[in-house]
Structure 1
Amino acid sequence: MPSRDWRLRIQDIVESITEIEQCTSNVSFEEFEKNQTLVKAVLYDFVVIGEAIRSVPHEIQLRYPLIPWRLMGGMRNVVTHEYFQVNLSRVWATIQEDLPSLVPHLLEVLENEGLGE
C-alpha cells in the first residue's frame, strides 16, 4: 500500500512540472544543455513525476485518457535506468510542448476525484 494518497502524488506531479517550468522559463536550449546542474534538477523532477504516476490507480488513469500516463512513466524509466540514452532535445521538447498542457488536466483530476475522500 502506498505511503501517501494517490491524490497527493498528483499534487507532487503538478509541483514538479511547476519547478521544471520555473527553472527553464528564461533559458534557451543551448543554456539548458550546457548547465549540468539544471539538467540534473530537471531530470530529477521527471523521475518524481514518473514515480508518482505509479501510485495513481489504473481505473483513474483510464478515466483521464488525455493524460499520457504511460509516457510519463516511460520517461522516468529512461532517466533512471537508461540515463546514458537521455536525449536532451527530447527532454526540452517535452518541457516546451507537453508539460504546459498537463497541469490543467491534472488539476481536473484533483477537482473531480477530491482530495482525502
Structure 2
Amino acid sequence: MQETRCCSIENRDKLILRKIITYCNRIADNLNRYDHSFSAFETDHMFQDACCMCVVQIGELVGQLSEEVKRRNTAIPWRIIKDTRNFYVHAYGAIDIPSVWDTLEHDIPDVKAACEQILKAGN
C-alpha cells in the first residue's frame, strides 16, 4: 500500500511538470506570434494578459509539486516562481512591464528546460 502511494505522488508530479511545460510553450507561442517584440508587449494588453496568465498558472502548479521534488531539485528557484505568481495575482496594476518581459524571455525557457530535465532524469 505504501509503495502505491509513493508512485501516485510521483505520477502526480510528472503530470504537474508536463503542465508547467505546456504553459511555458504557450508563452513561447505568444512571443513567437508577436516576433518577440517588446514594443508589442508594452502596448498590447491581450498579449500581456495571455503571457501573465501562463506565468500565474506556472506558479500555481509549482505550489502543487511535492516537497520531495523540490528538495531533489534545489537549483530551481521554486519559491521565487511561486512568489512571482502571487505578485502577479495580487499586484497586477503595479507590474513592471520590462521585468515581466525579462521573465518571459529568460526565466521561462529556463523553467521549461529544468522541468524537462527533471522528467528525463526521473527526479
TM-score, structure 1 as length reference: 0.86
Q: Any idea what SS the aligned residue of 2:65 has?
A: coil
Code of the residue aligned with 1:80 in structure 2: it is: V
Counterpart CA distance in 1 for 2:106 and 2:122 is 26
Q: Any idea what SS the aligned residue of 2:36 has?
A: coil
1:74 aligns with 2:74: no
- Encode CA deviations 1:68-101: one digit per residue, 9 max, x unaligned: 1111101110111111221111110011122222
Counterpart CA distance in 2 for 1:57 and 1:7 is 10
Counterpart CA distance in 2 for 1:56 and 1:70 is 11
CA root-mean-square deviation:
1.8
1:14 aligns with 2:21: yes
Q: Any idea what SS the aligned residue of 2:25 has?
A: helix
* 1:49 equivalent among 58, 74, 83: 58
Structure 1 residues without counterparts, runs of 5 or longer: none
Tell whether the 8 Å contact from 2:13 to 2:69 is kept in structure 1 after alignment: no
Percentage of matched positions with identical amino acids: 25
Deviation at 1:44, TM superposition (A): 0.6
Aligned equivalent of 1:28: 37
Code of the residue aligned with 1:12 in structure 2: it is: K
Structure 2 residues without counterparts, runs of 5 or longer: 1-8
Code of the residue aligned with 1:21 in structure 2: it is: A
Deviation at 1:107, TM superposition (A): 1.0
1:38 aligns with 2:11: no
Q: Any idea what SS the aligned residue of 1:5 has?
A: helix
TM-score, structure 2 as length reference: 0.82
Tell whether the 8 Å contact from 1:66 to 1:105 is kept in structure 2 after alignment: no
Count of residues in Structure 1 that have an aligned counterpart in Structure 2: 112
Q: Which has the higher helix share?
A: 2
